[in-house]
Amino acid sequence: MRTPSGRAVRPTPARVKEALFSILADRLDDANVLDLFAGTGALGFEALSRGAAHATFVEQHRPTAAALRGTAAALGLTERTTVLALSTERAARMVAGRFDLVFADPPYAQPYPAATFATLRERGAIDERSLVVYEHSSRLAAPVDPGFALQRAAAYGEVALAFLQPEPV
């Protein structure tokens, strides 16, 4: 995966990614995926390689977003991807359609993106059939959000995953 030099990107470790996709195996066929804070796009591209129909990548850093477009082209996935060079808050107000699966891997110093998730719920971009996978530091507890039910939590060294299912609106 390409990323501009000098850009501080923290890709999901390989063992975490493998565990994650083992858990998600039955949810990937023909899924519409939203990859927030996409960075290299590793999670979205992995989902596509495992049967997802489409991935929308949201990456605010324009050079990194351009690198995502280059990776999609190099992999022959341009028709199955959308790359938005926007903040997650703005993208949540603009994305079209409903997403089956959402990956959110913000910088660990950034707070839980409650407003982004609330906007996605309010707009119908995610609903009770969707699953949000929120990656955070294992030093912190899984998020508590009244709009979501915590379905599962898992920690892998420094990385923790919270599997969140939106409550009906």
Per-residue pLDDT 10s for the chain (169 aa) are 444 444 455 577 788 999 999 999 999 999 999 999 999 999 999 999 999 999 999 999 999 999 999 999 999 999 999 999 999 999 999 999 999 999 999 998 899 999 999 999 999 999 999 999 999 999 999 999 999 999 999 999 999 999 999 998 7
Q: Which residues contact 25 (CB under 8 A, 6 or more apart)?
A: 50
Q: Whole-model pTM above 0.85?
A: yes
Per-residue pLDDT at 164:
97
Per-residue pLDDT at 10:
54
- DSSP, residue by residue, the chain: ----TT----PPPHHHHHHHHHHTGGG-TT-EEEEET-TT-HHHHHHHHTT-SEEEEE-SSHHHHHHHHHHHHHTT-GGGEEEE-S-HHHHHHH--S--SEEEE---TTSPP-HHHHHHHHHTTSS-TT-EEEEEEETTSPPP--TTEEEEEEEEETTEEEEEEEEPP-
Per-residue pLDDT at 136:
95
Per-residue pLDDT at 12:
76
Domain ranges of the chain: 14-154
Q: Which fold has domain 14-154?
A: Rossmann fold (3.40.50)
Longest CA span, the chain:
42
